[in-house]
């Protein structure tokens, strides 16, 4: 990925408010709103990409765990590291499962401006 396409977190975060779709590829903690809202979370205070401000979010995961399929707003998915992510069960967050053998050239945790 060309370095000039990678945005700095402080520069890109305000743009999510005007973004129709954010695509998240395997970057769970860096988009987890619990880092801002849940003082009991182990990632509280960590800077995140504010994809929660986008109108729609597509989450690409290698595996989609059963709790992720729940449409209950109260449900949360617990990641393998034990940190729940309240973003994905929301109705404006859509899961896309990626087969384990498939590869992509995107890098997790990077915000890229559209061209």
For the question of residue 29 being annotated catalytic, the response is yes
Which residues touch 50 (CB under 8 Å, ≥6 apart)? 13, 16, 17
Alpha-carbon distance of 103 to 92, in angstroms, equals 26
Burial-class residue 98 by CB neighbours within 10 Å (0-12, 13-18, 19+). Answer: middle
Residues facing 111 on adjacent strands? 7
Catalytic option among 29, 38, 53, 92: 29
Output b/e per residue, 99-108; b: 16+ Cβ within 10 A: eeeeeeeeee
Active site residues: 29
């Amino acid at each position: 990925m060309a370095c000039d396409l990678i945005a700095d977190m402080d520069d890109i975060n305000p743009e999510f408010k005007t973004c129709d779709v954010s695509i998240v590829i395997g970057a769970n903690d860096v988009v987890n709103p619990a880092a801002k809202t849940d003082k009991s979370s182990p990632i509280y205070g960590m800077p995140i990409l504010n994809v929660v401000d986008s109108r729609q979010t597509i989450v690409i995961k290698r595996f989609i765990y059963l709790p992720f399929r729940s449409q209950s707003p109260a449900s949360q998915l617990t990641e393998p590291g034990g940190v729940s992510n309240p973003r994905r069960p929301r109705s404006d967050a859509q899961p896309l499962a990626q087969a384990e053998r498939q590869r992509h050239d995107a890098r997790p945790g990077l915000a890229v401006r559209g061209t």
